[in-house]
Amino acid sequence: KKFCVSVLFLPLLCSQEVLGEERLKEILKERELKVYWGTATTGKPHVAYFVPMSKIADFLKAGCEVTILFADLHAYLDNMKAPWELLELRVQYYEQVIKAMLESIGVPLDKLKFVKGTDYQLSREYTLDVYRLSSMVTEHDAKKAGAEVVKQVEHPLLSGLLYPGLQALDEEYLKVDAQFGGVDQRKIFTLAEKYLPSLGYTKRIHMMNPMVPGLTGGKMSSSEEESKIDLLDKNQEVKKKLKKAFCEPGNVENNGVLSFAKHVLFPLQSEFVIKRDPKWGGDKVYTDYEEVEKDFAAEQIHPGDLKASVELALNKLLDPIRKKFETPELKKLTASAYPEPSKNRAKGNPKQTVDEEEVIPSRLDIRVGKVISVEKHPDADSLYLEKIDVGEEQPRTVVSGLVAYLSQEQLQDRLVVLLCNLKPQKMRGIESQAMLLCASMLGEPRKVEPLDPPEGSAPGDRVYVEGYESGKPDDELKPKKKVFEKLQVDLKISDEFVAQWKEQNLTTKLGQITCKTLKGGNIS
Ligand SMILES: *[C@@H]1O[C@H](CO)[C@@H](O)[C@H](O)[C@H]1NC(C)=O
C-alpha cells in the first residue's frame, strides 16, 4: 500500500490540479483509489485523447481501479451534439476507438471497467436524484458550471442545465472516490463538491489535467477540422495537417506542434527522436521535453525537422488503431456512427444534388448596405423601419429590433452588413426584405452592435467568408432548410474584434468585417 501512495503521486504531479488532496491521502492509507474518467460520446475522438489515456495508464500502474464512462445521455444533453438516433452507434464507436488507443499505448484492458451512461442513469433511484438535485441547484449555478463544457448558445436549452448535475450524480452511482478530467471540467467538479453532500452523498476528489492546444494554437476542437488530427487520419492527412500547423523557427509561443510533443508524445514515450540530416548534426534523442523546447528556441531544431519527427512518432501511435479499423465491421460502424452530412440529406431527397444541399457560407448573400432612413415601426415599440441601399435600383425595407440598443441618429447614414437572401418576412404587418447583422452579447443588459464594413465600402459590396469566395449565393434561402440558422451557430466575433465563421474572417474586397466592442459575441 505504501508503494501505491508513492507511485500514485507521479501522475498527480503531472496533473494540473487536484481538489481534495487530503481525502486522497486518507483513502490511500487504507485501500486502492477508485477513479473514473468520463467522455461524452459526441464527435470523433482525436489525437489529444491520448492525454487522458496516458493518465489512465498511470492510474492503473499505480494500482487504482479505473472506470471509463461513455456518457451517451450527456452527448445528447449538450445541444444534441450526438443526435438521438445515433447515440448507440456513437457509444459503440467510442468504445472501439478508445480501446484501440489504450491497446496502442500498452494498457491492459482487462484491468479497466467500461460503463455506458444509460445503463444506470435511467434507474428509478438515479432519476429521482436528478429531480431532487433540480430543486437544489439554481439555474445560475447550473449555467455557470457548464460554461466551459456545454456549448454556449443564444437560446440555451434546459438539457444543458441538467448536464452538470448528472455528471455530479455519476460519481455516486459509479461508486468512485475520484473523478478525473480536463481543467475545462473544473466548474462542474466544484458543483459536484457543493451539491453531492446536500443529497447525503460524499464529496468526491477531483483531478485535472491541462488542455492540449490544437495544431493551429487554439483549443483542439472537433469542429475545427484543420486543428485536429483524427485517430483514423491516413499518413498523408497527418502530414498535410502538420505541414499547415503554425510553427515558426525559434518561436515556442502558440506552437501547436511543440505543445503536442509536450502533452501527448512525451508522457507516452520515454524518448523522442528529432530526425535530422547528418549535415545538420544528425538525429538527436531527447528524454526531456524542456530540452526540446530549449533547442527549438535556440533554432537548433528546424520546424521542418520537428514536424517530420512528430509525424513519425504519431504515426507509430496511430498505426495499430488504423489497422484495427480496417475490418468491414468497424468500417461500417464508423460510416454509420458518423454519416457524411451531405450523403445523409441526399438520401432523404434523392432529386437534390449533394452540392445544393451542402450548408456552406457561400450560400449566404451578405452585402454592405447604407442606411438611408430610419423611423419607428408604426405598430411595434421595439422595431425600427429602415430603408437601406444594398446596391440595387431601389433601397430595401428592413425591419429590425434595435430600438433598445441604438438611436435613430446612430443608424442614420451608417454603413451596415445585411443578409439579403432570406425569404422576406412580415414583421408586425411590414415586410422585411433583408436582415441587419449585429453582434450581440448575452447578459444583463444584453448588448447589441451592428457589424462594421471596412472603411471605404460601398453599398452592394459582397461579404464572404475566407475560403468560400467562389460559391454563388442561393437566390432565396428556403426557410425550412434553415441554412442560415445552421451557419449562424458558428458565426462569432473574434478576440481581435473580427467577424468570423468557424474562425475564418468575414471580409470584403477591402478588408475585414469588424465590431467595435463585443469580442466573443454571437452574430445574428
Ligand atoms: C483575419 O483577421 C485578423 C485580424 O484582422 C488578421 O490578423 C488575420 O490575418 C486574418 N486572417 C486571414 C487568414 O487573413
Pocket test for ligand 1, best of 496, 510, 514 (most atoms within 8 A of CB): 496
Pocket test for ligand 1, best of 507, 512, 515 (most atoms within 8 A of CB): 512
pLDDT band at 219 (very low <50, low <70, confident <90, very high): low
Pocket test for ligand 1, best of 505, 513, 516, 519 (most atoms within 8 A of CB): 505
- DSSP code for 38: E
Residue 217 has what pLDDT? Answer: 58
Least confidently predicted of 214-218, 278-282, 304-308, 349-353: 349-353
The answer to whether the CB of 498 is under 6 A from ligand 1 is yes
Nearest C-alpha to atom 9 of ligand 1 is from which residue? 505
For the CA of 496, the closest atom of ligand 1 is 4
Q: Is the pLDDT of residue 357 over 80?
A: no
For the CA of 511, the closest atom of ligand 1 is 5
Burial category of 472 from C-beta neighbours within 10 Å (exposed 0-12, middle 13-18, buried 19 and up): exposed
The answer to whether the CB of 257 is under 6 A from ligand 1 is no
- Which residues on neighbouring strands pair with residue 499, listed in sequence order? 493
Element (H, E) at 182: strand 178-182
Nearest C-alpha to atom 7 of ligand 1 is from which residue? 496
Condensed to tens digits (0 to 9), the pLDDT of residues 8-63 reads 554 554 467 888 888 888 888 888 899 999 999 999 999 989 989 988 998 988 88
pLDDT-above-70 percentage for the chain: 92
For the CA of 505, the closest atom of ligand 1 is 1
Q: Is the pLDDT of residue 92 over 50?
A: yes
The answer to whether the CB of 216 is under 6 A from ligand 1 is no
The Cα-based distances of 79 to 10, 27, 40, 152, 163 in angstroms read 37, 37, 12, 9, 10
List the one residue out of 433, 439, 398 whose CA is nearest residue 523.
439
Least confidently predicted of 272-286, 343-357, 368-382, 453-467: 343-357
- pTM score of the predicted model: 0.65
Residue 345 has what pLDDT? Answer: 43
Nearest C-alpha to atom 10 of ligand 1 is from which residue? 505
Residue 342 has what pLDDT? Answer: 53
- What is the arithmetic mean of pLDDT over 156-167? 96
CB atoms within 10 A of CB 481: 16
Residue 281 has what pLDDT? Answer: 84
Pocket test for ligand 1, best of 224, 451, 498, 510 (most atoms within 8 A of CB): 498
Q: Is the pLDDT of residue 470 over 70?
A: yes
The answer to whether the CB of 505 is under 6 A from ligand 1 is yes
Residues 6 or more apart in contact with residue 506 via CB below 8 angstroms: 366, 417, 451, 463, 464, 465, 466, 498, 499, 500, 512, 513
- 21: cell is 488532496
- What is the arithmetic mean of pLDDT over 319-343? 90
The answer to whether the CB of 496 is under 6 A from ligand 1 is yes
Q: Is the pLDDT of residue 354 over 50?
A: no
Condensed to tens digits (0 to 9), the pLDDT of residues 409-425 reads 999 999 999 999 999 99
- What is the arithmetic mean of pLDDT over 375-390? 94
The answer to whether the CB of 319 is under 6 A from ligand 1 is no
- What is the arithmetic mean of pLDDT over 271-277? 91
The answer to whether the CB of 466 is under 6 A from ligand 1 is yes
pLDDT band at 297 (very low <50, low <70, confident <90, very high): very high
Burial category of 48 from C-beta neighbours within 10 Å (exposed 0-12, middle 13-18, buried 19 and up): buried
Question: How far does residue 415's CA lie from ligand 1's centre (Å)?
Answer: 21
Nearest C-alpha to atom 11 of ligand 1 is from which residue? 505
- DSSP code for 213: B
Question: How far does residue 503's CA lie from ligand 1's centre (Å)?
Answer: 10
pLDDT band at 6 (very low <50, low <70, confident <90, very high): very low
Condensed to tens digits (0 to 9), the pLDDT of residues 97-107 reads 999 999 999 99
pLDDT band at 348 (very low <50, low <70, confident <90, very high): very low
Question: How far does residue 505's CA lie from ligand 1's centre (Å)?
Answer: 6
